Structure formats: C-alpha cells, structure tokens
Amino acid sequence: MFNVVLIKGDGIGPEISDAVVEIFESAKVPIEWVERQAGLNAIDKNPTGIPEETLEAVEKYKVALKGPTTTPVGIGHKSVNVTLRKTLELYANVRPAKSLPGVRTRFDNVDLIIVRENIEDTYGGIEHHQTASVAQGLKLITRPGSIRIAKYAFEMAKLYGRKKVLAVHKANIHKITDGLFLKCFYEVAQDYPEMQVGDLIVDNACMQLVTNPERFDVMVLPNLYGDIVSDLCAGLVGGLGVAPGGNIGDHCAIFESVHGSAPDIAGQGIANPMALLLSSFQMLQHIGLQKTKTRIENALLETLRDGIKTRDLGGKANTKEFTKAIIERLVPMEIDELIEPSPLRIKSELLPTYKPVEEYCHGVDIFVEYPGGIPKVPETVGNLKLKMISNRGTKIYPGPMPKIWLVDHHRCRYVARDETGNYKNIGDNEIFDLIREVSAYGIKWVHIEKLQLFDGELGYSKAQGE
Ligand code: NAI
C-alpha cells in the first residue's frame, strides 16, 4: 500500500478529486489517501492557504495529488502552487501532451513530454526599478539547476522508453544564461549515448510545434519558455481540460491538473475530471504502478472512443456520468499487479554540479542614471578604462550615435588590460575607486556588475568580454 496525500483544493477541486478517488477505488489501486487541505478553505488554518499539517504530510508521504486552488487577485495569500513549489524545491515541472480519441484537435498523433525547470530563470522574481522609467528583472540560470533538470529529463526519457530529448533555448541571444543551460544539457547528454539528442531555438520550436508536433518527444526547457511552451502544447491536444502536470523534487512530488478552480462552474457537477485523472496517471508512473496506470488509462480511452465526454469537450456527460463510464470500462485486475518500472527518483546531491575553476575579474559594468544623452563619465580610473557605453543594449559610445531612443539608464563598461592587451585581474578597491570617481563626476550610479571569467568553464562567451 502507498500513502498518497490528497489535497482536493477548492472550486471544482473537490468534484474532480472525488471522481479520481472513485475510479481508483473501483480499480483497487493500492493507495491509501491521506487527506489534507489547501487553498481558500484552509485560510482559517493558515493565512498562506497552506496549513503546516499539509506541508508536513507532503514531506512525510512524499507524493501528493492536488486539485486546483483559487488565488485571490490583488489581495490575500500568494499562489498556493508557487509556495508549495518553492518550499519543497519541486524543480521539475513535467507536462505530457498526448492526443486523445474523440478530443477534436488539428493533430492526431501528438505524444510529447515537456520538462520545465521550475525554480530558476526570471521566476526568482528578482526585479528592481533602476530609474523612475527603467525596470530590470534578473534571469538566473545556474549550473546545478541546469544539470539537474537535464538529468531528470534524460532519466525520465530512459525509464519511459522515449527516444529523443531536445533542449529548447534562446542561446543565440541569451548567450551566457541560455548558453549555460545548453552547455549543461550536452554535458549530461554524454551519459545517455542511446538517446537521440538535439536542441532548438524556442521560436523555431514553437513554429514547428504548431505545424508538425508529431515529431517531438521529450523537450527540456528553462522556466519561462517551459511555462509558455507547455500551454501551447496543451492547446495542441485539446486545451486545459486535458492538460495534466507534475511538480517533482528530490524528496517529494505533487501532481495536479494545469487548469484552475473554475469558479464559474464550481458546484454544478459538470467539471471535467480528465486533467486530474491524467495527472494521477503521471503519479502512478512516478511511484512505479505502471500496470495500474495502463489499466485505468485504457478504460479512459475506451470511454472517449465510445463518444462519452464532458460538456467542455463537446459531450453531454456530467462529472458523475463520465466517471461511471470509465469505471464500467475497467477490465478486471490481474493478480500480479507488478510494480514496474522502478520509481523515478533523482537525487541531485549526487550530481556533479560544481567544478573547481579559477576566477578572474577583469572589469565592471557600472549602470548609471543620466537623462541628458551620453553620460560624461571618466575615461580612465586606475587600471580601468572606459570601453563603451550602451543604452538598452545598443552601443552609443564611442563611435557614431545610432538612431535610437535613449532612456535614462546607461551601462558603462570598464575593462583592465595589461601592456600586451590581455585582460588583467582587478581587485575590489579598484572598483570602489571607480564608483567614487563616477559619483565625483556628478553622475548617479545605480548598480554594478563584475565582468568575470571562469577559466573558460562556465559558459563564458565573447558577449561578456566585448
Ligand atoms: P480556470 O482554469 O479555472 O478556468 C478557465 C476556464 O476553463 C473557465 O471557463 C472554466 O470553467 C474552464 N475549466 C477549467 N477547468 C475545467 C474543467 N476541469 N472542466 C470544465 N471546464 C473547465 O482559470 P481561471 O478562471 O483563470 O482561474 C480560476 C482560479 O484558479 C484563479 O484563482 C486561479 O489563480 C486559480 N488557478 C489555480 C491553479 C491550480 O491550483 N493549479 C492553476 C490555474 C489557476
């Protein structure tokens, strides 16, 4: 028997959760539910919408199935999902998109899995106003995070008999951040010689997905592209009503449908439980109950082939009728309901994520606020020489002034070189001197970034040095 935490959520959550519980009971799935609350109906226990006992149960039992929870707009608690994801370090968001019989779409043979990195990228929410008219968000891509998600994607692909793993990125533009993601992907790929590997730029991937989605198998993406592309893929196979997902970490995993709490239809008994049921299939696979999963999946596919669907998919069945139809199509269980394949557990602490490297700081970008054209900053301070000034990434000094709009936020790049023209290492005091000197010129500095070289190991590209 497996203990699984059941969080029914709010809105249509309880209706669709009850449908899954009923199907599991009829299928005699060896799972004992441990019910806990989250969302609107748990606010009296904890203003975050996540009572301590819910968190403790997920940590203790390691696997949870969760119905949708409402996030109040503008007021109240943060998204329960985001909080759970971050608190429990659920780093992999796994979203399969598979064509289903009777669900009308433009394509018939889509069967792909999106593996989205779930913690990093711009989702750290590290954002600042730089000037009154310029805001900045930091996109953080890390080597451990990228190795871990690539490893997860390959391990999952191997375990589920997939053939091809594709990294999706924008490393042609984000050379350092996405470049690092891609570098880590190919590093991990070396351990899976049996797998076909490749990479695609995200815009090209989107175009190919909407024209020829059948050619895709497993895709691994940084957080933001993963968020967008996974919804695109949900659209390819019939929309949110059939889109499942799992948020998976080293220690625990939460499976839930992609759609929300659908307050417009809550309590009417017409919600489609399919996305939560598909999420429960992912959960069964995760804990190793592959045969049980296939048996219930076959009953669902039979139901759909027989034209029984809920209203959101153009059918007439309500939640209970649809659930009953699936139960009626369950074939009797075989005695040897074997546990296979082995559960998918990837321990990131075992992964070789850090490499000792030598670090060099050879310069600094100092960002300044200056509303009146090119800021008049010093040309030289100690070893540091002004190399260029850019505005929104376009060089405006030295050389001809491009015909661009100037905002009041400039990046002034200073680098240090030795007599032979090679980069020279600098210390913090030289940077402090530079900041003081810029201030003395009457220019307001906003922030600085060190220009660092890591022995060529960590995704350094010319873009940073130039
Ligand atoms: P939603 O996904 O709840 O609803 C969008 C539309 O799809 C509605 O017309 C709804 O009736 C329909 N729909 C959704 N699921 C359905 C189902 N299973 N069967 C039939 N029709 C279905 O998105 P919305 O309205 O933007 O969000 C409502 C609330 O849910 C918000 O508070 C939002 O923050 C929350 N939410 C929670 C999620 C979660 O807990 N995983 C995910 C997304 C949103």
The enclosing domain of 334 has a CATH number of: 3.40.718.10
What integer pLDDT is reported at residue 462 of this predicted model? 37
> Locate tokens 């949110």: which residue?
240
Q: To test the ligand 1 pocket, which listed residue (66, 75, 259) has its Cβ within 8 A of the most ligand atoms?
A: 259
Q: How far is CA 29 from CA 33, 255, 334, in A?
A: 11, 17, 12
Number of domains in the chain: 3
What integer pLDDT is reported at residue 327 of this predicted model? 97
Q: Is residue 328 part of a domain?
A: yes
pLDDT-flagged residues of the chain (< 70): 73-78, 334-356, 455-466
Residues 426 and 322 in one domain: no
Domain containing 375: what range? Answer: 358-455
Instruction: Mark 116-127 as b/e (b = at least 16 C-beta within 10 Å).
Output: bbbbbbbbeeee
> Beta partners for 244?
257
The pLDDT tens digits for 180-234 are: 999 999 999 999 999 999 999 999 999 999 999 999 999 999 999 999 999 999 9
Does the CB atom of residue 178 touch ligand 1 within 6 A? no
Q: How far does residue 329's CA lie from ligand 1's centre (Å)?
A: 28
Q: How far does residue 310's CA lie from ligand 1's centre (Å)?
A: 16
What integer pLDDT is reported at residue 437 of this predicted model? 98
Q: Is residue 170 part of a domain?
A: yes
Residues 148 and 111 in one domain: yes
Q: Is residue 349 part of a domain?
A: no
What integer pLDDT is reported at residue 120 of this predicted model? 94
Q: Is residue 301 part of a domain?
A: yes
Does the CB atom of residue 69 touch ligand 1 within 6 A? yes
Residues 185 and 266 in one domain: no
Helix (H) or strand (E) holding 451: strand 444-453
Q: Can you point out the beta strands (E) in 222-307?
A: 244-248, 253-257
What integer pLDDT is reported at residue 464 of this predicted model? 39
Q: How far does residue 35's CA lie from ligand 1's centre (Å)?
A: 22
Q: Which atom of ligand 1 is nearest the CA belonging to 16?
A: 18
CA 459 to chain centre: 21
Q: Is residue 344 part of a domain?
A: no
What integer pLDDT is reported at residue 240 of this predicted model? 86
Q: Which atom of ligand 1 is nearest the CA belonging to 273?
A: 18
Q: Is residue 199 part of a domain?
A: yes
Structure token pair of residue 13: 């959550």
What integer pLDDT is reported at residue 459 of this predicted model? 39
Query: What is the C-alpha radius of gyration for the chain, rounded to an integer number of angstroms?
Result: 26
- Of all protein residues, whose CA lies closest to atom 43 belonging to ligand 1? 260
What integer pLDDT is reported at residue 457 of this predicted model? 47
- pTM of the entire predicted model: 0.90
Q: Is residue 461 part of a domain?
A: no
What integer pLDDT is reported at residue 355 of this predicted model? 63
The pLDDT tens digits for 248-299 are: 998 899 999 999 999 999 999 999 999 999 999 999 999 888 889 999 999 9
What integer pLDDT is reported at residue 465 of this predicted model? 38
CA torsion, ordered 56, 59, 61, 64, to nearest 10 deg: 90
Q: How far does residue 398's CA lie from ligand 1's centre (Å)?
A: 53
Residues 232 and 242 in one domain: no
Q: Which atom of ligand 1 is nearest the CA belonging to 276?
A: 18
Does the CB atom of residue 279 touch ligand 1 within 6 A? no
Does the CB atom of residue 240 touch ligand 1 within 6 A? yes
Q: How far does residue 328's CA lie from ligand 1's centre (Å)?
A: 28
